[in-house]
Chains A and B, each alone.
Chain A
């Protein structure tokens, strides 16, 4: 089983709203990731959690706030977003982040976010 689930599938929000994206995996993976993907562009890394601790933050604006409540769950809290933040938000997980193993990242289906 290489399933990563994400909710919601679609989200429309105003610039003053607060919302959260959720990601879940039950593969025992210890690394989880958030990516942002604009149309016809490759995914761009936002955050990496390793063993439930934030290990990489790619200079993402503070209006995006990640949270890793436990090893299976990853949230992305959204507040005061801008229309240019509209994109597909992808969650991924991998077994281990030490670099010693293949460490393939498996992606969830994504949440398509529209900011009005």
Chain B
């Protein structure tokens, strides 16, 4: 079966750093994606990892360890607008297209 785990909720304050973890056990692996989704809106792409290591994009960084089935999304200099759900998704499947999503982590940023 496919299993992707993330914490359900996290809270943080403006200006802080937060790390959202994701562990996965899937039949096949063709990369891991992080998406941000504000309430009532579509998911927007944040990052992609397929090799072990850290990918940095401005305030956002994502890390992958394939041997451990583990990833994290690091958000720095938090802003109120970062309050959203963060979805970890693993690309699996024969053609490598199907995305299996975790349940998402709701991040609340307070002032």
Contacts and interface: CB of A to CB of B under 8 A. Distances in A.
Interface of A: 2, 31, 33, 41-45, 48, 50, 55-56, 88, 90, 94, 97-100, 102-110, 112
Interface of B: 30-31, 33, 35, 40-45, 48, 50, 87, 89, 91, 93, 95-104
19 contacts: A2-B45, A41-B103, A42-B89, A42-B104, A43-B87, A43-B99, A45-B100, A90-B43, A97-B95, A97-B97, A98-B95, A102-B31, A102-B48, A103-B97, A104-B48, A105-B33, A107-B35, A107-B43, A110-B41
A88 B42 CA distance: 9
B97 A110 contact: no
A50 B95 contact: yes
A43 B43 contact: yes
Contacts of B42: 90, 107-110
A105 B87 CA distance: 13
B97 A42 contact: no
Contact of B87 (A42, A44, A45, A103): A42
A103 B93 CA distance: 13
A106 B99 CA distance: 12
A32 B41 CA distance: 19
B97 A56 contact: yes
B84 to A, nearest CB: 13
B67 to A, nearest CB: 20
A8 B35 CA distance: 23
A97 B92 CA distance: 11
Indicate the member of B31, B95, B97 with the most A CB atoms within 10 Å: B97
A103 B96 contact: yes
B91 A103 contact: yes
A50 B97 contact: yes
Contacts of A2: 45
Nearest to B8: A40
A67 B42 CA distance: 22
